[in-house]
């Protein structure tokens, strides 16, 4: 068993974000259940969900990620981030999270993107120039990918954040 952290980012109506960073040791079966979130919905009674949010939630606003969230995530080799489809705010927050976690040793992010664009992502974040006209779509993660590329420009090649498509 490997240690794994799961982070869920949930914007509320006031623009604040609640981050739920659970510290758990997870088996392969539990990991499969979390990863399959797109394919099915399990009803969790609202009182149970409210208890989890009260216990584990770290509310914050803006782009600065609280040290408490980073401290919860950094001991783990793998951090899973919940659904982020089509929300630009999630992408912006993820870009900040990638920069903060880089300072704590994280060097790779795996995205739920079609595998066929893997080489484009790799090339783009490393300024490879294979497809100079290609830009990631803003609704499919362009904010995050561009932010990582810009961050990587300030780093030596062996310290850069690698982005891979795994869908």
Pairing, β 162-165 against β 108-111: parallel
pLDDT digits (tens, 9 = 90+) for 139-158: 667 788 889 999 999 999 99
Confidence label for 27 from pLDDT (cuts 50, 70 and 90): very low
Q: Would you state the pLDDT for residue 5?
A: 57
Confidence label for 116 from pLDDT (cuts 50, 70 and 90): confident
**CA 91 to CA 86: how far, in whole Å?**
9
Q: Would you state the pLDDT for residue 14?
A: 46
Instruction: Say if residue 130's pLDDT is above 60.
Output: yes
Domain ranges of the chain: 1-83, 84-167
pTM above 0.85, yes or no: no
Which pair of tokens denotes residue 139? Answer: 């609704």
């Amino acid at each position: 068993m490997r240690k794994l952290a799961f982070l869920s980012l949930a914007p509320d109506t006031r623009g604040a974000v609640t981050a739920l960073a659970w510290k758990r040791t997870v088996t392969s079966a539990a990991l499969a259940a979390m990863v399959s979130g797109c394919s099915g919905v399990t009803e969790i009674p609202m009182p149970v969900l409210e208890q989890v949010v009260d216990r584990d939630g770290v509310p914050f606003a803006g782009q600065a990620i609280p040290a408490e969230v980073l401290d919860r995530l950094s001991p783990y080799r793998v951090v899973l981030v919940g659904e982020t489809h089509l929300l630009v705010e999630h992408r912006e927050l993820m870009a900040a999270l990638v920069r903060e976690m880089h300072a704590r040793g994280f060097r790779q992010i795996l995205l739920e993107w079609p595998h066929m664009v893997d080489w484009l992502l790799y090339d783009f974040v490393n300024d490879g120039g294979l497809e100079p006209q290609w830009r990631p779509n803003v609704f499919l993660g362009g904010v995050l990918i561009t932010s990582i590329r810009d961050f990587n420009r300030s780093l030596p090649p062996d310290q850069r954040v690698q982005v891979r498509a795994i869908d």
